[in-house]
Amino acid sequence: MSIVSRRILVTGGAGFLGSHLCERLLEAGHDVLCVDNYFTGRRDNVAHLIGNPRFEVMRHDVTFPLYVEVDEIYNLACPASPVHYQHDPVQTTKTSVHGAINMLGLAKRLRARILQASTSEVYGDPQVHPQREDYWGHVNPIGYRSCYDEGKRCAETLFFDYHRQHRLRIKVARIFNTYGPRMHPNDGRVVSNFIMQALAGEPITIYGDGSQTRSFCYVDDLISGLVALMETEDAVTGPINLGNPVELSIRELAEAVIELTGSSSELVFAPLPHDDPVQRRPDITLARSTLGWQPRVALREGLQRTIAYFERLRDELGPSGRKP
């Protein structure tokens, strides 16, 4: 069966997830417009795609209107790690809210299908475990993480109001912890932190006692889920959880990274950040039944691929992870 080529906009396309999504869409034969303001996205993430005649890059901030012609929109633009989204919390909220308004307005004008990359952070520090899509969450609206948590919650509200009021064709994916090549080396997220510290032989910093749990999905699996959701019939709007339901403690993750890197790093402990969730695991029953999707890459295999990426990055950039 021949694939109908579409022109697809990916906001945040030079970021960790966005660059992998651009790559996957190009492989499927689509034309891709990558839009990024490079606050957390990096040109290096998409440099290998520049020569592809179906690929275009545009520097743009989604808090301002965008006037382009496309068939579909994946809205991934927003800093996703606490280090980055707390750097300028007002701008983070604007990116989620104004960005959603601008992309929804574009989709309305074009009558285009649009997908919102939401987050498991809409569940806050959950009182229901594992988290299902019908759980409304337990979120601090005035805390240090609120710029991201509440910004994403508001974006979901906007998406469903545009759907109800303007019959817009929307998709909402709630993304749980994802890791893999092209993560920013200094983004403060637990997988990249642990790997960078282990490769440098530095102590691995665990916030809290390490008993808090997370579930980690390899990036290739996550991208498959996003594409599968976009391809569903219009009646399927989501929200749909996308993540790996295998749960482990932060301490177990640290020990796995030490083993796989062959590092001599020791564990050190620091106070838990404000509003840091104690546990996080997706219920992906809906993704399995609606999308026929579930993660396939085991944690150990995914960590090995990610460690190999960071080893190459250190060789290129030096121990700091920054260009000289």
Active-site annotation, residues: 148
- Quote the CA–CA distance of 182 and 288 in Å, as a whole number: 27
Integer Cα distance of 281 and 64 in angstroms: 35
Give every CB contact of residue 180 below 8 A, 6+ residues apart in sequence. 16, 20, 218, 219, 220, 302, 305, 306, 309
Residue in 293, 149, 275 with CA at minimum distance from that of residue 227: 293
Take residue 112 and report the two structure tokens written for it: 């285009």
Q: In this structure, what token pair is assigned to residue 223?
A: 């991208």
Pairing of strands 204-207, 267-270: parallel
Interatomic CA distance for residues 113 and 110, integer angstroms: 9
Tokens read off for 44: 């290096």
Q: At what angle do helices 146-166 and 89-110 cross, to 10 degrees?
A: 20
Q: Are 41 and 12 in contact (CB under 8 A)?
A: yes
State whether residue 320 is helix, strand or coil: coil
CA distance 230 to 30: 14
3-state secondary structure of 257: helix
- The residue type found at 83 is V
Nearest to 196 by CA among 188, 205, 185: 185
Task: For residues 125 and 143, give the distance between their C-alpha atoms in angstroms, rounded to a whole number.
Answer: 12
- Residue pair 197/274 in contact by the 8 Å Cβ criterion: no
